Chains A and B, each alone.
Chain A
């Protein structure tokens, strides 16, 4: 009696299991995780089907693809170092961020007239030539017009106006940050030397003057063509009563 009932019970339970499996398989998609439903015990074959391995096999002509393990690299045999530092030498951290030059604003293109906001030439209107590798902008007065030489200026200290000067043909390829860098002052070691050496005079080399002339000549020609551009570049920018920069179009 118990055997038959057990068999009967077993049969019933199997069919129930099949129903559950079918339900589970219909619900879940191949390759997805098993459902949270704890009672959904799925057999080996069902779980294999669900895993999707059969699809991979079919794609690979009946066999599961074998990936060859990469050949183990023979570690270079290093000798023990002859010298060990007494204290741990601090290792610098790996720097992953590369400092890039500042992105040039869309309003600044070669030939744009810029207003300098700070520094010795604050308020002066100058002509933009190019952006140097460091991100700084190379500008010139031109020198004859407003006394501003070829100079570097930071983008943040400049307002770009919509006025443009034609600077095609001006050769600025040779100018880079090294050209504008200050000459390194030789450090004197003893006190006598320090007081003896006169401070280096601020004489401008004739090469610099020639560079200034070469750059400015074409720009001056272009400036002369536009009416009022020369006195415009000669004048300083200033805010006056009733002028609000947030409402101004430069």
Chain B
């Protein structure tokens, strides 16, 4: 499943001029964010041992355990850059899914196809809106 960056950078276009001659700019394309921003907190762990198979994700705007139900099963993607181009892009992805709530304040557990690298801790991920049950 490809990750398209087609709408990542929205270009501005000049649309005419104002009375004093300064150009009027407007966005060329419509905004289209179809994911919820998430922060990768780290791995599931006790105080002294961590289990890298499950990552903890903090989803923006999610503050209660009772609201987590919407996000269960949703696909999550961690995106990172590399120097070498693979399949036409320098961006690489690790896909996963939200598996369950973690605690009572909206944190969520996710399992990825491959365990996330340690450098992802504190990084961003995208929680997509599919598979949708709405």
Which residues of chain A have a CB within 8 Å of any CB of chain B? 105, 107, 117-118, 122-123, 155-160, 235-240, 242-247, 250
B interface: dominant SS: loop
Bound CA–CA A160/B134 (angstroms): 6
Specify which of A122, A244, A245 is in contact with B32 (CB 8 Å cutoff).
A122
B1, B34, B60, B128: which has the most chain A beta carbons within 10 Å? B34
Specify which of B31, B70, B128, B131 is in contact with A238 (CB 8 Å cutoff).
B31
Bound CA–CA A240/B69 (angstroms): 21
Chain A residue at smallest Cβ distance from B132: A159
Report if B35 contacts A (CB, 8 A). yes
The answer to whether B31 and A157 have CB atoms under 8 Å apart is no
Within 8 A of A (CB), among B29-48: 30-36
Report if B94 contacts A (CB, 8 A). no
The answer to whether A238 and B132 have CB atoms under 8 Å apart is no
Q: List B contacts of A247 (CB < 8 A).
A: 61, 67
The answer to whether B32 and A236 have CB atoms under 8 Å apart is yes
Sample of 9 more A-B contacts, CB < 8 Å, known A239-B35, A245-B129: A123-B30, A156-B132, A159-B129, A159-B132, A238-B31, A238-B32, A239-B36, A242-B61, A247-B61
Chain B residue at smallest Cβ distance from A123: B32
Report if B80 contacts A (CB, 8 A). no
Bound CA–CA A166/B71 (angstroms): 32
Q: List A contacts of B71 (CB < 8 A).
A: 246
Q: List A contacts of B132 (CB < 8 A).
A: 117, 155-159
Q: List A contacts of B133 (CB < 8 A).
A: 105
The answer to whether B62 and A244 have CB atoms under 8 Å apart is yes
Q: How far is the CB of B130 from chain A (nearest CB, A)?
A: 5
Bound CA–CA A107/B70 (angstroms): 16
Bound CA–CA A157/B70 (angstroms): 14
Residues A240 and B34 in contact in the complex (CB < 8 Å), given A107-B134, A117-B128, A157-B131: no
Q: List A contacts of B60 (CB < 8 A).
A: 244
Chain A residue at smallest Cβ distance from B106: A246
Q: List A contacts of B36 (CB < 8 A).
A: 239, 244-245
Chain A residue at smallest Cβ distance from B35: A239
Q: How far is the CB of A247 from chain B (nearest CB, A)?
A: 7
Bound CA–CA A122/B45 (angstroms): 37
Chain A residue at smallest Cβ distance from B131: A156
Q: How far is the CB of A123 from chain B (nearest CB, A)?
A: 4
